[in-house]
Amino acid sequence: MAQFNTFVSNLVWDKMLRRTGILLIISILTLMASCVEPGKYRTRERYVVTTKILYIRTSPSTVSEIAGTLKLGDTIIATASDKYWVMLRDGAFTGYISTDYLKKIDFPPTPTLLAFLEKLSNWRNWPFWLIAIALLTLWILIEETIIKLKTFLRKQKGLNIKEILLIHVTFFVTAILSGIVYIYWKDYFIESLFRGLNTKNAEADIITIALWIQLSLVLLGILIDFLGSIFKTGIRFGTLLTIADTLMGVFIFIVTFFLTIALNFYAIVFMVVFFTSRYIHMVNQISKRVKRV
């Protein structure tokens, strides 16, 4: 009987291990499938009008109702297209334009820094993984240096150091959101860096507004932490600590953005866990060391 129970127990255990292994393999394949194809970020086709007046139709037919007009030199961003018609969408409105009077143009050129990050973010090559590990290691080293700096100022100057920071959180969240926008709306992202709300495309304006909101949140986080540091440590050291935390925040943004545009959801899951653990560690370390003094 004992041997039978052992046999059944081993059989059940083997099945559990087998199922766990299968689930693990599926999870890994799913995560890897969500990675971005190196150098492939979504951009929409763009056209310029080559005639004095061009009608926007309600359906892809020359006898369909006219919904609007375009003039010579106007540019449009296509939602979809074929050999004869280009579809555009503005909110709930969908229109069609004949390709006979359109000329295809390139999307905005990628800035040098972003092009460099794209080149490095090829997760299929081993240099990417070395760079990723090096950046995460450097992240830890810089963070530990900042902790030591705050501990030194506490011990030597008797300063009451601000423990909870918004700077790092806002930079981190902004980096993830910017990375997602870059993957799925790269052309709009680049346009938003160099222009205001001067387009007729509602989707592009939404991206621009979203990026400005993210920037506002980052600046608000810096301001709140700056005022809090000044209140606790004075203008001189409050400014010093805010500069150090802001530089760390910029580094967090670069690393998180870089990994997000390379690995997409895989990076997001990993970075949320990594950032949360590091943030909790930083707060705990500063709190413990402050109490010892």
111 beta partners: none
Helix (H, G, I), strand (E, B) or coil at 59: coil
Q: What is the mean pLDDT of the chain?
A: 79
Q: Are 161 and 231 in contact (CB under 8 A)?
A: no
Q: What is the DSSP letter of 212?
A: H
Lowest mean pLDDT among 96-105, 196-205, 273-282: 196-205
Structure letter (DSSP) for residue 39: T
Q: pLDDT by residue (tens digit) across 204-253?
A: 677 788 888 888 999 999 999 888 888 888 888 888 888 999 999 999 99
Higher pLDDT, 197 or 37: 37
As a whole number of angstroms, the distance between CA 83 and CA 98 comes to 9
pLDDT in tens, 78-129: 777 777 888 877 666 778 888 888 888 877 788 888 888 888 888 888 899 9
Residue with more model confidence, 257 or 10: 257
* 48-62, 185-199, 208-222 — most confident range: 208-222
- Taken in order of first residue, the domains within the chain and their CATH numbers are 46-105 (2.30.30.40), 112-292 (no CATH)
User: Of the given ranges (19-33, 56-70, 88-102), which has the lowest mean pLDDT?
Assistant: 19-33
Supply the pTM of this predicted model. 0.77
- Residue 235's CB: how many other CB atoms inside 10 A? 10
Contact 278, 286 (CB under 8 A): no
Q: What is the pLDDT of residue 97?
A: 86
**Neighbour tally for 82: CB within 10 Å:** 9
